[in-house]
Amino acid sequence: PAPARTLFGRIPAFFSRKEPKKPSILKDLLQRNRDWSAQVTQNNPAFFQDLAGGQSPKYLWIGCSDSRVPANQVVDLPPGSVFVHRNIANVVSHSDFNCLSVLQYAVEILKVQHIIVCGHYGCGGVAAALQDRRLGLIDNWLRHVRDVREKHKTKLEQKILLSESRRMDMLCELNVIEQVQNVASTTIVQEAWDKGQPLAVHGWIYGIGDGLIKDLGVCCTNANEISETYRTAMHMEEVEVPEPDPKEPPDTPPPNK
């Protein structure tokens, strides 16, 4: 028989030969996919046909690659509802063309109305940046988070934050706030606001231990709000060191006389 044809011409003979079918190493995942597809179709026969017609999500989610923080599931939204970009420690860098391309497509083509930067407590990337652990190539990427740590060194070293876990939580929050400012400062978002396009940038953080999202109170809806929103968020992150209670014994006992 004549070789098969495609839009680009004939398929070479060595590609068209039938090889013995090899067993799938991940057949359990393929079976789970079939079961899921069947269940979704049973509940809504038109679901996949509707998805095939295109996407019009209202939200862009910029989150961490951590497998425990799946964007759609933690906000209980179906496929097609959230446009997603994920990387280690939910960083938004003005030199990351991958992230900027996602951002541009979401804002200019999909016309999303909300950009959510969502970090999470217990982030391994943030922990490595806080503890100055060396992990190899990824250290270059985590330089962004280390810059956040150095910028807010005074806050992170306050006496009240003696607990390493508290420092960790605070750096996770500060990192989100800084990335929100980075998103809002991009030419993509700035131009959308200049055109009057409705667009809000939010900062959230997710608790893996309880499955709940915390709004960090940082939200920008136009260029004029960036500085004030940032100052307000920083004020919320301030930790007041309580005055010592005179009834409480001192931390260090007086020397014996």
pLDDT of the residue at 4: 55
Would you place residue 256 in the very low, low, confident or very high pLDDT band (cuts 50, 70, 90)?
very low
Q: Is the pTM of this model over 0.75?
A: yes
Would you place residue 235 in the very low, low, confident or very high pLDDT band (cuts 50, 70, 90)?
confident
Q: From the candidates 85, 99, 118, 123, which is the catalytic residue? A: 123
Q: Tokens for 250?
A: 């001192």
Give the other-Cβ count within 10 Å of 189's Cβ: 23
Kindly report, residue by residue over 76-135, the tens digit of the pLDDT. 999 999 999 999 999 999 999 999 999 999 999 999 999 999 999 999 999 999 999 999
Q: From the candidates 10, 34, 68, 94, which is the catalytic residue? A: 68
Q: Tokens for 103?
A: 């951002």
pLDDT of the residue at 18: 62
Q: From the candidates 85, 114, 120, 152, which is the catalytic residue? A: 120
Amino acid residing at 123: C
Q: Give catalytic status of residue 172 as yes or no.
A: no
pLDDT of residue 11 exceeding 70, the answer is: no
Q: Give catalytic status of residue 66 as yes or no.
A: yes
Q: Give catalytic status of residue 220 as yes or no.
A: no
What is the SS3 assignment for 83-120?
A: EEEEEHHHCCCCCCHHHHHHHHHHHHHCCCCEEEEEEE
Helix (H) or strand (E) holding 216: strand 212-220
Would you place residue 241 in the very low, low, confident or very high pLDDT band (cuts 50, 70, 90)?
very low
Give the other-Cβ count within 10 Å of 119's Cβ: 29
Q: From the candidates 66, 149, 219, 220, which is the catalytic residue? A: 66
Amino acid residing at 112: V
The overall average pLDDT reported for the chain is: 87
Residue whose tokens read 């809806």: 221
For residues 132 and 141, give the distance between their C-alpha atoms in angstroms, rounded to a whole number.
13
Q: Give catalytic status of residue 17 as yes or no.
A: no
Q: Which residues contact 152 (CB under 8 A, 6 or more apart)?
A: 171, 174, 237
Runs of H (alpha helix) within the chain: 13-16, 27-43, 47-52, 71-74, 97-104, 124-131, 138-151, 153-156, 164-184, 187-194, 226-237
Q: Which residues pair with 117 in a beta bridge?
A: 62, 203
Q: Give catalytic status of residue 32 as yes or no.
A: no
